[in-house]
A and B are shown apart, each in its own frame.
Chain A
Amino acid sequence: MLFPDLVKLTSSSFLSSRMRSFLTGLGIAIGIAAVILLTSIGEGLHQFMLAEFSQFGTNIISVQPGKTQVQGGNVGIFGSVRQVTLEDADALRRLPYVEYVIPGIAGNAEVRYEGRTRRTMVLGEGRDFSKAFTMKVQSGSFWTDADNEQARAQAVIGSKIQQELYAGENPLGSYLRIGGQRYRVVGVMESKGQILGMDMDDTVFIPAARAMELFNRPGLMEVNVSYRADVPADTVIGIIKERMIERHGREDFTIISQEQALEVLSSVLNILTFAVGALGGISLLVGAVGILTIMTMAVTERTSEIGLLRALGSQRRQVMILFLGEAMLLSALGGFAGLALGVGISQGLHLLFPALPVHTPWLYAVLAELTAISIGLAAGVAPAMRAARLDPVEALHAE
């Protein structure tokens, strides 16, 4: 039998009972649509989370004081932790592949301008802050003083601070009191919105050395190192670790690379997507039962036709292929309908609720379609084998 004839014969039985075929296909379609919809939302969430975490840039490595580890016994004098200092940051700046080094320290302080005060987050950073992180300065610029004790009292303010304290007035060149000290405003950040619950606009940036003084802290909270994008994170981590051990005598610091953190997060989110996909898969199973039912009925109804086919010279295998083909056609068409339905609903949801991140992973779509066809195949095997095994004489006389 030639392939076009197979298609013609199977589709003729498909078309002869349209309503039944439609309902059976619908079972598969709903299953596929559920898989597509759930994985679309899962994948959308995945991408949303990754974007949220990586919006500062991905090739950043952070060095923090202290080593996270568990060990027994008294560590004695060696247990004390050396601070990560501005000198450490300077040393890292001279390493290969390193582009920018930003010493960082955070705290809270009262900010005051012409009688208006606001308690806000104060970040002590380096002058290359806006270059290393993807945060833009809207007007003015970051200070240009080196990241050391010589840095003058200059500040860059977040858009919300400008709004609240300056009420639309141009803040550039004005003097702002931060924790009682006078700072000259040199720049205003572009609005960034909230990031994981932290309002990045309600922030004041000042030189790290000044912030250490302000918060009366002997060391930095972290040093962020941005490196060239074409170099693997592990290489840079190795170099940083080596230099830091050289300076501190032992590993009393922790290195966290954004890339590794994202990898872990991504794999967790992948499992989430897979899990919701599997949940949708349960409805596919129900669709498979529908196909099994309808094919079993078809074999019973068309028993005498099977006898005829055998009398006309068809082999058992041909009879089986005809029934399998029918089951596969049902599930494949149902699968395509489900694909359209799933993509349609998820895009519709996205239009209705733009905040809901939706992304249809095409790999899942293809997998879903393949699953639909294999489900048709699996559900069709038993009835098709039964059809093929029928005794032709008995089948011919069945009514």
Chain B
Amino acid sequence: MIELNQVSRSFTVGDQQVAALRGIDLSIAAGDYVSIMGPSGSGKSTLLNLIGLLDRPSSGTYKLDGGNVTALDDVQQARVRSEKIGFVFQSFHLVPRLTAAMNIELPMILAGVDPAERKERVAKLVENYGLKDRADHRPDQLSGGQRQRVAIARATSMNPAVLLADEPTGNLDQTTGKEVMALLEQLVERKVALVLVTHDPVLGGRAHRQIHMVDGEIVSENKATGVS
């Protein structure tokens, strides 16, 4: 489903070209659970941003569902992001002045989904993620785990094919971190491709495919069989 072919990304820092990604070849299928690990500066976040269409490769091609998405313009890329990609961030990134329910609804609002259908979907997500009595609370009235659950509910509200998680447990204690991971891993069973960026080897070790990056290159890929 995701196919990266010789993808490179370099940034201009001052008058120097710094390569963040060098010749990445990677393919991810529906229902894949991939973790990307590596030290900071290894390019794992850049790779995630590229897959999430927030960034464009300097060279190489990126095909999503068979279509070359690198060739799309901003408006088309935004539509692909809206329909196929979900994001979960380390710092949750909830809109502080909107209620939990409104935060979950936000991607559907932006996509112009019919209000009646939105309401139905939000109700279901709130139920599924155990936020029923917190739906009308603002983010600052929620615990870290609840906030990340809202963020996951939001990321899945448009039924994306790919879910990109950047250190989703980085701001959580261990117990809540595990709960959050369990929720994300449930999605894999529903054939969502989950891409997890982390520098925690324990967390990364839970993925079926473990990719290690150093200096913008994939140095190894391990395939594990057991998921907790």
Residues of A at the B interface (CB closer than 8 Å) are 1-2, 4-5, 9, 12-13, 15-16, 304-305, 307-318, 392-393, 396
Beta-carbon contact of B78 and A314 below 8 Å? yes
What are 9 of the A-B contact pairs (CB < 8 Å)? A9-B109, A12-B97, A12-B98, A305-B95, A310-B81, A312-B81, A316-B78, A318-B110, A392-B55
B49-87 vs A, CB cutoff 8 Å, 1 = contact: the mask equals 100101100000000000000000011001101110101
- Which 9 pairs from chain A and chain B are nearest by CB? A313-B82, A16-B97, A315-B78, A313-B81, A314-B110, A312-B107, A392-B54, A308-B93, A5-B109
Number of inter-chain CB pairs below 8 Å: 71
A125 to B124, CA, bound (A): 92
Taking chain B's interface residues, is the majority helix, strand, or loop, or is none over half, making it mixed? helix
The residues of B that contact A9 with a CB separation of less than 8 Å are 109
Which residues of B94-108 are within 8 A (CB) of A?
Answer: 95-98, 102, 106-107
Q: Is the CB of A313 within 8 A of B78?
A: yes
Complex alpha-carbon distance, A317 and B78, angstroms: 11
B52 & A311 in contact (Cβ 8 Å cutoff): yes
A13 surroundings in chain B (CB, below 8 A): 97
For A307, the chain B residues whose CB sits under 8 A away are 93
- 5 more contacts with CB within 8 A, not counting A12-B98, A315-B79, A316-B74, are A2-B109, A310-B78, A313-B83, A314-B110, A318-B110
Chain B nearest CB, measured from A90 CB (Å): 82
On whether the beta carbons of B87 and A393 are closer than 8 Å, the reply is: no
B44 close to A (CB within 8 Å) = no
- Known A1-B110, A1-B112, A392-B54; contact A315-B74, beta-carbon cutoff 8 A: yes
Shortest distance in angstroms between A398's beta carbon and chain B's nearest beta carbon? 11
Chain B interface size, under 10 / 10 to 19 / 20 to 34 / 35 or more: 20 to 34
Residue of A nearest to B87 (CB): A311
CB of A65, distance to nearest CB on chain B (Å): 79
Using CB atoms, name the residue of chain A closest to B98. A12
Kindly state the separation between the CA atoms of A13 and B154 in the bound complex, as whole angstroms: 20
Q: Using Cβ atoms and an 8 Å threshold, which residues of chain A touch B158?
A: 313
Q: Is the CB of B98 within 8 A of A396?
A: no
CA distance in complex: A305, B96 (Å):
9
A2 engages B112 (CB within 8 Å): yes
B89 contacts chain A at the CB level, 8 A cutoff: yes
Q: Distance in Å from the Cβ of B162 to the closest Cβ of chain A?
A: 13
List B contacts of A318 (CB < 8 A): 110
Nearest chain B residue, comparing its CB with the CB of A9: B109
The digit string for B196-219, where 1 denotes a CB below 8 A from any CB of A, is 000000000000000000000000
B151: nearest chain-A partner, CB-CB:
A308
Is there an interface contact between A309 and B97, defined as CB atoms closer than 8 Å?
Answer: no
Q: Which residues of B contact A317 (CB under 8 A)?
A: 75
* Contacts A311-B87, A312-B87 given; does A393 touch B49 at CB 8 Å: yes
In the complex the two chains form, what is the Cα distance from A311 to B83 in whole Å? 11
Contacts of B97 in A (CB 8 A): 12-13, 15-16
Given contacts A16-B97, A305-B95, contact A312 B89 (CB under 8 A): no
A13-B97, A304-B93, A305-B95 as given contacts; A312 in contact with B54, CB under 8 Å: no
